[in-house]
Amino acid sequence: MTTLGGVTLKTVRTRNLLAALALCSLSAAAQCRLPDVVPDALSHLTPTQLLDAGHYLRTEQLLDPIAKERPRDAHTAWLLSRAKAALGKLDEAEALADTALSLDPDNPAYHVQVAAVAGRMAEKANLFKRLGYVRRAKMELDAAAALNARDPDTQWGLMMFYYVAPAMFGGDKTKAQQIGQQLAAVAPDLGRYYQGRLALEMKDPDAAETFYKQSIGENPLLFETASNLALFYIRTKPDQAKAERWACQAVHTDPTRADSWALLARVYTLCGCWTEATRVAEIAETVDGENLVPYYAIAEAAIEHGEQTELAATFLRKYLSQPVEGNQPTEAAARMHLGTALARLGNRADAVKELQSALELDSTLEAARTELKRLEKTK
Separation in Å, CA 195 to CA 10, 211, 213, 341 = 49, 6, 11, 37
**Other beta carbons less than 10 A from residue 345's beta carbon:** 14
In order along its 379 residues, the chain shows pLDDT tens digits of 333 333 343 433 333 333 343 344 444 435 799 998 887 899 999 999 999 999 999 999 999 999 999 999 999 999 999 999 999 999 999 999 999 999 999 999 999 999 999 999 998 898 889 999 999 999 999 999 999 998 999 999 999 999 998 888 889 999 999 999 999 999 999 999 999 999 999 999 999 999 999 999 999 999 999 999 999 999 999 999 999 999 999 999 999 999 999 999 999 999 999 999 999 999 999 999 999 999 999 999 999 999 999 999 999 999 999 999 999 999 999 999 999 999 999 999 999 999 999 999 999 999 999 999 999 888 6
The model carries a pTM of 0.89
Three-state SS for 4? strand
Structural contact between residues 308 and 276, judged by C-beta atoms closer than 8 angstroms? no
Q: Which domains does the chain have, with CATH numbers?
A: 46-148 (1.25.40.10)
Three-state SS for 8? strand
The H or E element spanning position 3 is strand 3-4
Residues 6 or more apart whose Cβ sits within 8 Å of residue 35: 251, 252, 255
Three-state SS for 363? coil
